[in-house]
Amino acid sequence: MSQPIPFTDTNFKLAVVQELMYNQDLLPEFDLREYAAQQGFTYDAGSVEAVPEALAYFEALEVPVELADKITEIEMDGGNEIYLEIAPNWDGEDGLFDVDEFADLRHFPNLKSMTLLYTGNEEALETLRARGIEADWL
């Protein structure tokens, strides 16, 4: 059994999982409707808030270290599947999925490009660019 990547920032992890699960099909796809039916919970599909059970699923999801090399770019976008599976009616207008901490970069040596949800945190861009990563706001 391979080791999971020890993430420190859940939102950074979500951006990575978006790439591996929905863009590259390297992790089994999560579907909130199916998961809710299997687990026996209901949720408000009109809510802009995170569905706690969906967020808990992704927090517990183990991402094998072997997949770290597959991450060359991260494109955070309000329309990404992962965000809509966690918060079905999220409009991207709040900081629900903002990445605040970039210690997890150390796990992704091949990451060359990252587009971030806009936070106005210029320090975040500088952190990324200092590591040779092309970084910009969405």
Q: Tens-digit pLDDT profile for the chain (138 aa)?
A: 689 999 999 999 999 999 999 999 999 999 999 999 999 999 999 989 999 999 999 999 999 999 999 999 999 999 999 999 999 999 888 999 999 889 999 999 999 999 999 888 899 999 999 999 999 998
**What pTM value is reported for the model?**
0.96
Q: Specify if 20 maps to a domain.
A: yes
Q: Specify if 94 maps to a domain.
A: yes
The answer to whether the beta carbons of residues 17 and 61 sit under 8 Å apart is: yes
Structural element, H or E, at residue 84: helix 81-86
Q: Specify if 3 maps to a domain.
A: no
Q: What domain count does the chain have?
A: 1
Domain, as residue range, for 98: 10-137
Structure token pair of residue 95: 């900081």
HEC per residue, 8-56: CCHHHHHHHHHHHHHHCCCCCCCCHHHHHHHHCCCCCCCCCCCCHHHHH
